[in-house]
Each structure stands twice: as C-alpha cells, then as structure tokens.
Amino acid sequence: MLNYRHLHYFWVVTKEGGFARAADRLDMAVQTISAQVRELEKTLGHQLLKPAGRGVALTEAGQAAFARAEEIFQLGQGIPHEVRAAASGSVARLAVGLSDGISKLAAHALLEPVLATPRLRLVCHEGEFEQLLGELAMHHLDLVLAGQAAPRNPNLRLSSERLVDSPVEWYGPTRLVGKAEREGFPQSLSSLPVLLPTGHSALRATLDHWFETQGLRPRIVGEFEDSALLAVFAARGLGVFPVSRLGADDVGLMRGLRLLGRSDSVKEEIHAIRSRRGQHHPLVLKVVGAAADRREA
C-alpha cells in the first residue's frame, strides 16, 4: 500500500524546491524527510527526485507522481470545508461530468431546473467519455451527460437513459443571415462561412452525413469543442453555426444572432448516465424528471 505520509513529504519537497525548505515548512529534520522520500521511491520502484543546483528537480517518474500528488492534496485541502458543510446540511452538492463534444448550451438547459436550489454547489467536469465513466463508477461524480449511452459493463454498474433527442437549428449574425435569405435554406450554407463542432462531437458525424445527402459543401471557417465558445465567435461575426433546439434558448442571450433555418432531420442526443448511488440523488432525479416532462410536453 502507498504510504500517503511519504507522498505528502515528497509533494512538499517538490513544491518548496528542496529538502531544506521543506524541512522548514514542516518543522522537521532534513534527514527525516529525506529518509521518508527514499522509502516512497523504494515503494514505487523509481527515482522521483534528482539533484539540481542547491535544490532538487523531478525525474520523469517524479513528474507523474507529483501530478497525482497535486490532485490528491489539493482535493484534501477542501475536505474540512466540505465535511462541515455536509454535516450542517447547508450545501446541496451536485457533481456532473460533461463528455467532450456535447453541446454545453444544451447541458446548461438540462441542468437549469436545479440551478435555483438553495445553497447549491454545482461542480462540472469536462473530459473524455471513458474517463468520466470511471469517475462516475468511483462515485466522484453524481451524473454524466454524454452524447452516447454507457456501454454494457456489469463491473461498472451504470445505467443510462436518453434525455434529449433535439432537432438542430442554425443561427448566425444578423448581417450574414439577412444576405442569405434570398438563397434559401439549406442551400445558403454552401456560400456562408460555417462554424461546426469538432469530430469529438457525435453531432458532427450526423451533420457531415446531412451535408452529403443535401449536396452541400459548407465553407468551414472554424471548429470548436465548446458550443458556448462557438456561439460567442458566431456572435462576433465569424459565421453561422448549428445548435440543438434545447440549447437555442441560451443563444438568445447572444445579441445579434438570428435564426437562419432548421434541420429537423438532424438531431442531437444527450444521455444521462448514473451509478446506482446516483439513482437516488435528489438533484439528479430532478434533472432527469424535468427532461422527461419536457419530452412529454
């Protein structure tokens, strides 16, 4: 088993740049700290630190160890506050993973029903699909929103349900949309500058297929992983862009954007993925329930 006290000494030595400064910070003897770090290196089987002038520097193995130690002890520093808040019942915490490629505008709309929760602490992590599923399985997340369902894996014990199957609309700056109205939609997409989600998004593959079936060759001037950032660049005049109807309500916050047209046959899917524990989280239940009400409306 990894000795986390040894790991902490290694972390402090690295942060301070040497054993002497770490000893001052920890109020310990240099020899004691040095011995504990050597024990950590023996446990891991690799040298983590090497001499560098009057201090020390990380080896490649040390860089990997320090990156994880940084995460561990940064999280640890927040534990006392979170424990006090949980004990007092004063904070409603919801940790959500947002998979690469889903529309952040649509994700915001899905989470909107819980945003007025008193003393809400909403934590959103963005990452790759497989990484987020691992975090969910370890109960570091309460909910993952993704463009696909969770794979069948009895070891992970995850459940999925589709929250959104939303048609796509196209928006752009007023001056571009006005000029394109004479050409009609979707033909105007061949002459307009177009902004698209990157290949990380499941929506991108659907759009590329739709372009082909419509005989369109859009002039792509930008690709973005973040749909909110895509909308900002569109509002600044860079081009027109697609957004699910669910996320289009937030587009209204961007001044100067107008509706160009609708691609009703192109739809964005967003799935809610939960662990067994997350199935009983009151805020997760509220998000899923509101999405179900929206579908039935």
- Where are the domains positioned within the chain? 4-77, 90-164+270-296, 165-269
**165-269 maps to which CATH number?**
3.40.190.10
* CA 245 to chain CA centroid, nearest Å: 21
Are domains 4-77 and 165-269 of this chain identical in fold? no
First to last CA, the chain: 54
Superfamily of domain 90-164+270-296: Periplasmic binding protein-like II (3.40.190.10)
The CATH number given to 4-77 is 1.10.10.10
pTM above 0.85, yes or no: no
Q: Which of 65, 36, 108, 110 is nearest to 294 (CA)?
A: 110
- CA separation for the pair 257, 232 (Å, rounded): 10
Instruction: Give the whole-angstrom CA distance, residue 18 versus residue 2.
Output: 22
List pLDDT tens digits, range 50-86: 998 888 999 999 999 999 999 888 888 878 877 776 6
pLDDT of residue 215: 94
Question: Taking the chain (297 residues) in consecutive chunks of 10 residues, what is each chunk's mean pLDDT?
Answer: 91 93 92 94 94 90 93 83 68 87 84 90 88 87 90 79 90 89 90 91 90 94 87 91 84 78 91 84 91 78
